[in-house]
């Protein structure tokens, strides 16, 4: 449930992020902002493919750890838990403080397991690059296509392109593990729905990551025309 709500929220915010003219301080320094919308972890985003260098396995797992143990992930788990408890998506979890804690732990586990599987484990085993490479220029449609396309086609450590097995297999593994702690969501249809929702979240996140620095540039310009860092 919380993945579907997060997908809707990210998609709704994506067009708002697509405005602006000037560079942020972080982009001027060759770095991607560490958060989008000031809360969503953005450690695996690269400003582009210039001077491409593959990541060592330890670097892939470091990205997974940064995304997982960031304050934003804990906050997203808390917000997701509130939505899930309000909709009573897992009645066996109960209500009140104890019920909310159960929802929060499982929501956070979803994010953590998904991060490690799609950014660390499978990219290392399959020699794929877990990073999202921003296009950063061109028409809005070409940038949107790039953001969506990288869900299905990714870069390999050798510099080529390949179907993004890490995304699909990683999220599939995360869903399979989650069925152990979601007693009310253990059917095949539940699993497919959850997988689609998780892939949808990643797709929506790519779109926001592609356009978010532009949103920051718009606000920086309106604040006085200077380059503003949001970190």
Q: What would the pLDDT profile of 95-129 be if each residue is shown by its tens digit?
A: 999 999 999 999 999 999 999 999 999 999 999 99
The pLDDT of residue 229 = 33
pTM (2 d.p.): 0.80
Residue 228 lies in a domain: no
Instruction: Give CA–CA dist 159/79, Å, rounded.
Output: 38
Using CA atoms in the order 163, 53, 200, 121, what is the torsion angle rounded to 10 degrees? 80
Geometric angle at alpha carbon 127, from 51 and 149, rounded to 5°: 70
In a domain, 231, yes or no: no
Is 69 a member of any domain?
yes
The boundaries of the domain holding residue 140 are 2-222
Residue-wise pLDDT tens digits, 3-31: 545 554 554 555 444 443 334 444 444 56
The confidence score (pLDDT) of residue 214 equals 56
Q: How many domains does the chain have?
A: 1
Within a domain: residue 230?
no
C-alpha torsion sign, points 114, 190, 164, 202? negative
What pLDDT shows up at residue 60? Answer: 98
Residue 193 within any structural domain of the chain: yes
Residue 24 is predicted with a pLDDT of 42
**Is 83 part of a structural domain of the chain?**
yes
For the chain, what percent of residues have pLDDT higher than 70? 78
């Amino acid at each position: 449930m919380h993945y579907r709500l997060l997908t809707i929220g990210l998609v709704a915010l994506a067009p708002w992020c697509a405005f602006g003219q000037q560079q942020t301080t972080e982009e001027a320094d060759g770095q991607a902002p560490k958060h989008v919308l000031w809360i969503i972890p953005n450690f695996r985003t690269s400003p582009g493919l210039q001077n491409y260098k593959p990541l060592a396995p330890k670097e892939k797992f470091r990205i997974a750890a940064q995304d997982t143990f960031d304050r934003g992930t804990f906050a997203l788990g808390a917000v997701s838990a509130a939505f899930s408890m309000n909709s009573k998506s897992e009645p066996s979890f109960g209500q009140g403080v104890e019920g909310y804690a159960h929802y929060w732990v499982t929501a956070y586990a979803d994010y953590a397991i998904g991060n490690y599987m799609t950014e660390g484990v499978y990219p290392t085993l399959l020699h794929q690059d877990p990073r999202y490479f921003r296009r950063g220029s061109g028409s809005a449609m070409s940038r949107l296509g790039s953001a969506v396309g990288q869900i299905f086609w990714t870069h390999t450590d050798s510099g080529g392109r390949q179907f993004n097995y890490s995304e699909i297999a990683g999220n599939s593994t995360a869903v399979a593990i989650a069925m152990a702690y979601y007693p009310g969501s253990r059917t095949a249809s539940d699993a497919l729905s959850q997988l689609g929702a998780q892939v949808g979240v990643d797709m929506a996140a790519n779109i926001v990551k592609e356009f978010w620095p532009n949103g920051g540039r718009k606000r920086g310009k309106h604040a006085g025309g200077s380059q503003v860092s949001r970190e």
